[in-house]
Amino acid sequence: VVKEHLPKDGLCVVFVETKRGADSLEIELHKNGISVAAIHGDRSQIQREEALAAFKTGANPILVATDVAARGLDIPNVSLVVNFDMPKQLDDYVHRIGRTGRAGRKGTAVAFVNERCAYLHDLYDILIEAKQDTPIWFEEMV
């Protein structure tokens, strides 16, 4: 997904629900030759600051983060947000995707969803209201 949707020199935030998920995804992406860093509550302040610095400069253009760790971060050049794990609440989803396309820039949000997501119908309504394209499989799912 990242290779397909991330523009050259773009930054990507991948959201996961758990600290363990952040660590696992970071390791898997590294194994596949992708420059990535992860932040979550079990990382020290120094580790989080180093990861953010490498992310902002593009040295590690992909940041895997939990919601708690990413809260309050203002990173203006994020062009792609991936919801690897969907959040439990629709408001959290909206907050996550709001990190891309800031200041009039274009941005892309990708989400991995399944029928267990409790707010799929509401999400679909929001996407339609915002005039966003939705895949046929998503329309069929709701």
What pLDDT digit, counting tens, does each position of 70-116 carry?
A: 777 778 789 999 999 999 999 999 888 888 876 677 888 899 988 88
Distance CA 142, CA 137 (A): 9
pLDDT at residue 73, rounded to an integer: 79
Flag whether 118 is in a domain: no
Flag whether 119 is in a domain: no
Q: What is the pTM of this model?
A: 0.89
Flag whether 35 is in a domain: yes
pLDDT band for 12, please (50, 70, 90 cuts). Answer: very high
Quick: pLDDT tens for 30-69: 999 999 999 999 999 999 999 999 999 999 999 999 987 7
Flag whether 123 is in a domain: no
Flag whether 125 is in a domain: no
Flag whether 25 is in a domain: yes
Structure tokens at 139: 């329309």
Range of the domain at 92: 2-111
Flag whether 61 is in a domain: yes
- Residue 85: which CATH number? 3.40.50.300
Tell me how many domains the chain contains: 1
pLDDT at residue 107, rounded to an integer: 85
pLDDT at residue 43, rounded to an integer: 94
- In SS3 terms, the chain reads as CHHHHCCCCCEEEEEECCHHHHHHHHHHHHHCCCCEEEECCCCCHHHHHHHHHHHHHCCCCEEEEEHHHHCCCCCCCEEEEEECCCCCCHHHHHHHHCCCCHHHCCCEEEECCCCCCCCHHHHHHHHHHCCCCCCHHHHHHC
Flag whether 32 is in a domain: yes
